[in-house]
Amino acid sequence: MKRLTKVEEQVMHIIWQLERCLVRDIIEQLGDPDVPRSTVSSVVRILEGKGFVGHKAYGRTYEYFPLISKEDYSRQTLKGLVSNYFDGSVNRLVSFLAKENDIDVKDLNDILKRLEDEEQ
């Protein structure tokens, strides 16, 4: 799966949220009316070229929709993060997160219990 730039990811989050949308809907969600329509259109076409977005044409109007779920993208991004920054070790990632976020042992045990409950 190809990686997304920050701007592509921002637009993709909007598309995931709306599920089906027009370029004007994306511009509306961005909250910046000064963003050029051509810029947003270009980003959406790039996303389409990367295989993240599909479209349905209604004359000259295109309705866009995600081809890749947010969960699949999140999964692949997290795998890349673990591989690139934590030598493929999920333990190192969890240890890093625990230290950075001052998670105590009780909280970690609660998380483990929830995971065990979900497995059953």
- pLDDT tens per residue across span 42-94: 999 999 999 999 999 999 999 999 999 999 999 999 999 999 999 999 888 88
The whole-number average pLDDT for the span 92-119 is: 86
pLDDT of residue 69: 97
75 within some domain: no
* Of 48, 10, 12, 107, nearest in space to 57 by CA: 48
pLDDT recorded at residue 107: 85
Q: Is residue 80 included in any domain, yes or no?
A: no
58, 17: one domain: yes
Residue 73 lies in a domain: no
**How many domains does the chain fold into?**
2
Residue 49 lies in domain: 6-66
State the average pLDDT over residues 2-15: 95
- Please state, in angstroms and rounded to a whole number, the distance separating the CA atoms of residues 87 and 76: 15
Cα distances from 5 to residues 49, 67, 76, 77, in angstroms, run: 14, 17, 15, 12
118 is a domain residue: yes
Instruction: Supply angle C-alpha 21, 54, 79, rounded to 5.
Output: 100
User: What CATH number corresponds to the domain at position 33?
Assistant: 1.10.10.10
Q: Are residues 61 and 12 in the same domain?
A: yes
Mean pLDDT across the chain, nearest whole number? 92
